[in-house]
Amino acid sequence: MKGVLATLAPEARVVDISHEVPPQDVLRAGLVWRASVPYFPRGSIHVAVVDPGVGGRRRIAAFEARGSLFLAPDNGLIGYLFPARAIRRAVHVSRREFFLETVSATFHGRDIFAPVAARLARGLPLEALGPALESYEREALPRPRRRRVELGGKRYLEESGCIIYVDRFGNAATNLIPARCFRLRELRLGGRRFTRLGRTYADGKPGEPVLLVGSTGHLEVAVNRGSAATTMGLKLGDGVLALWARK
Amino acid sequence: MKGVLATLAPEARVVDISHEVPPQDVLRAGLVWRASVPYFPRGSIHVAVVDPGVGGRRRIAAFEARGSLFLAPDNGLIGYLFPARAIRRAVHVSRREFFLETVSATFHGRDIFAPVAARLARGLPLEALGPALESYEREALPRPRRRRVELGGKRYLEESGCIIYVDRFGNAATNLIPARCFRLRELRLGGRRFTRLGRTYADGKPGEPVLLVGSTGHLEVAVNRGSAATTMGLKLGDGVLALWARK
Amino acid sequence: MKGVLATLAPEARVVDISHEVPPQDVLRAGLVWRASVPYFPRGSIHVAVVDPGVGGRRRIAAFEARGSLFLAPDNGLIGYLFPARAIRRAVHVSRREFFLETVSATFHGRDIFAPVAARLARGLPLEALGPALESYEREALPRPRRRRVELGGKRYLEESGCIIYVDRFGNAATNLIPARCFRLRELRLGGRRFTRLGRTYADGKPGEPVLLVGSTGHLEVAVNRGSAATTMGLKLGDGVLALWARK
């Protein structure tokens, strides 16, 4: 891909976001995109090639949103980044004259994504890539379920969610995002009960799990100078139950 | 190496091809080079430092081929890229005035390859680096053995080869490259028999091995949304036997 | 971090030194910095975010030394690079107007280090970042213990140290650095006794451990075309005992 970009758009600045997304893990790729895209300048061209369906019938899509362009398989990735209303244009990337001359069945990153990104970098308008997409996949994070509960005469919001991400430090992120108007009463996860929201990893004693709001805005559990995943035996998909009181 | 390049050729654009070649694995490095070099612009300077013999008696070589330059230990790497006739010039990199002032015995990448690449990027002609190399190592991919066989009164070409590469997705590539004028009758590998050539990874049911032509042109076996290496218990060097019928 | 740099200092050239430092391993980060910083041009801005104390009370420091700038947590990292006298200026990075508007408690790399590095790249003077630091952490490599011993009527210098680094090739580096005026008599490590200093990895027979001076100047043990750590069962912190004779 770098070779194709250097050939077709030698003046473009190429930044690697991550090569550590496990093969075919769309959720993980979506979270990485979510965590990085907002920090790049407007006018960037973001390319994601996480593509369990390569060579199959899945389409390649290009989007315009918030002044930047996005190129990705039509597999729901874009749904992790933006609500539908933020997407100004969506096209089906299908005009073969912008691909490499020979398109392999197995490596569209090199043969389609890279040359198309290079043309966009050189000013080709999005519409030239193919017809408008009328609908596209909008997979997104699993949403927590919510219900109102009464405990000891008081009313609470109960949220049940799950662990959606374990990073290389062993921090485990949930799909729960604290709302401004609620205060945490308790959170149960991996056999433990948290009643306090820490502010930083260093808030816990070494070896002790801390619950906090991670850099993506999600509730996560970490162990100061250790791995929460190992210490608490956590893994992707584990359930979490939170009780919120209205402030 | 990046520091030396930034110091001696600050205007050069540096692209990392791979840091994932296992230590001293010349075959793997050759395949990575084969898969990437053709996609870079003419005039590129390609540097490979996979060097079991560092500090020993192996020489460092520089080559010109197809309008680009190549810098590598004289350990046969170049043989994976080009036939001998494509190589226009070959020199023994030996003029110490183009190296760093102090050359360690263990890190020639930093002390020799990087400064020499930087000088080439700034326009130093290849010949300045040292005398012409009259002969050099030309290790290459292991070649499949071929013989004609007769089965049920029909004639076939039988090829016996091996697995030369297992990538991080668990796809296993062989040293067999389909010729235009032959049609696959069967291929035996890891206790399985394939009679059909798939076109894409998605051609198989999930969990089911598919035989196809990979992005490097070699026959490879993959498992849709899984790892062929794990599912079929494949590893480097495993034998493969193919039977081809003339079209 | 790359996104913030691309936004605030689009003309800056960004070079990744390493993403392979294990979480919170200040010693490893120090060795990587030590091995790479001297090869970068004067005027570089070096950023290290290895930060067990993120969000806690540790400060962020900026240093000027040998014509370059250094940005790091005040956790002793700088002590691996320079003696105190080489550091011309040290400031406490505390002026929030140079940070991102929202500073998370967990990802200072993105919210503080990257924007501050970008401002420095655009010419902001070091002093603008905050008040001078009067003292700062100066952790450094564990120092070997030395004593004079007499053996068979001769005098030797005995050094006892430890393994401080095992690289991905399985080479194990010690904290011993040979002095010009001494000659090695013997070195004991992992149940073996070395009496000779090899010059290169290739000096040993395949599979045979070699003792040599590595690219950072430290004594290290390597196995030609193999892993010393595996062959000899070595790990971080293992003791090493050397006997030196005055030349």
pLDDT, one tens digit per residue, over B181-231 is 999 999 999 999 999 998 887 777 888 899 999 877 889 999 988 899 999
In chain A, % of residues over pLDDT 90:
65
Q: Could you tell me the two tokens for C136? A: 């700062």
The answer to whether B214 contacts A106, with C-beta atoms less than 8 Å apart, is: yes
- pLDDT band of residue C194 (cuts 50, 70, 90) is very high
> What's the pLDDT at A56?
66
> What's the pLDDT at C199?
83
**A93-97, B62-66, B68-72, B77-81: segment of lowest average pLDDT:** B77-81
Only one residue has tokens 């206790």, namely: B191
Tell me which range, A95-109, B59-73, C207-221, is most confidently predicted by mean pLDDT: B59-73
Numbered residues of chain A with Cβ closer than 8 Å to any chain B Cβ:
2-4, 6-7, 10, 23-24, 52-57, 104-107, 110
Q: Could you tell me the two tokens for B68? A: 């680009």
User: In the predicted model, what is the mean pLDDT of residues C49-72?
Assistant: 87
Q: Is the dihedral of CA A216, A221, A226, A229 positive or negative?
A: negative
Residue B69 pairs with which residues in a beta bridge? B45, B64
**Neighbours of A (≥3 Cβ pairs closer than 8 A)?**
B, C
Smallest Cβ distance to C40: which of B7, B23, B55? B7
Please give the ipTM for the structure prediction: 0.77
Cα(C220)–Cα(C238) distance, integer angstroms: 13
- Give the closest-approach CA distance of B78 to chain A in angstroms: 19
Cα(C23)–Cα(C21) distance, integer angstroms: 6
Only one residue has tokens 């360690």, namely: B104
Cα(C25)–Cα(C237) distance, integer angstroms: 14
The answer to whether C106 contacts A215, with C-beta atoms less than 8 Å apart, is: yes
The answer to whether C3 contacts A41, with C-beta atoms less than 8 Å apart, is: yes
> What's the pLDDT at C56?
66
**A111-125, B186-200, C41-55: segment of lowest average pLDDT:** C41-55
Cα(C36)–Cα(C238) distance, integer angstroms: 25
> What's the pLDDT at B133?
94
Contact indicator for A72, A48 with CB cutoff of 8 Å? yes
The size of chain A, in residues, is 247
Q: What angle do CA C16, C21, C24 make, to 5 degrees?
A: 125
Residue A53 clears pLDDT 70, i.e. is over it: no
The answer to whether B169 contacts A107, with C-beta atoms less than 8 Å apart, is: no
- Partners of A107 on chain B (C-beta within 8 Å) are 215
Cα(C84)–Cα(C74) distance, integer angstroms: 14
Smallest Cβ distance to B225: which of A4, A24, A110? A24
CA A40 to chain centre: 15
> What's the pLDDT at B56?
66
- pLDDT band of residue C51 (cuts 50, 70, 90) is confident
> What's the pLDDT at A11?
93
Residue B153 clears pLDDT 80, i.e. is over it: yes
Q: Tens digits of per-residue pLDDT, A65-116? A: 999 999 999 988 999 898 889 999 999 999 999 999 989 877 899 999 999 9
Residue A159 pairs with which residues in a beta bridge? A146, A242
Q: What angle do CA B221, B227, B231 make, to 5 degrees?
A: 85
Smallest Cβ distance to A41: which of C6, C23, C106? C6
Residue C55 clears pLDDT 70, i.e. is over it: no
- Give the closest-approach CA distance of A101 to chain B in angstroms: 12
> What's the pLDDT at C107?
87
> What's the pLDDT at B53?
66
Q: DSSP character for C29?
A: H
Only one residue has tokens 């109102």, namely: A148
φ, ψ of residue C236 to 5 degrees: the values are: -45, 135
Written as one string, the DSSP assignment of A113-139 is IHHHHHHHHTT--GGGGSSBPS-----
Contact indicator for A105, B199 with CB cutoff of 8 Å? yes
- Give the closest-approach CA distance of B214 to chain A in angstroms: 6
Residue C228 clears pLDDT 80, i.e. is over it: yes
Q: Tens digits of per-residue pLDDT, A151-165? A: 889 999 999 999 988
Report chain C's mean pLDDT, rounded to a whole number: 91
CA end-to-end span of chain B: 51
Q: Tens digits of per-residue pLDDT, C130-173? A: 999 989 988 777 889 999 999 889 999 999 999 988 888 899 99
User: In the predicted model, what is the mean pLDDT of residues A48-62?
Assistant: 80
Tell me which range, A221-225, B195-199, C35-39, is most confidently predicted by mean pLDDT: C35-39
Instruction: Report the predicted TM-score, pTM, of the whole model to 2 decimal places.
Output: 0.80
The answer to whether C41 contacts B10, with C-beta atoms less than 8 Å apart, is: yes
Q: Could you tell me the two tokens for B41? A: 């612009």
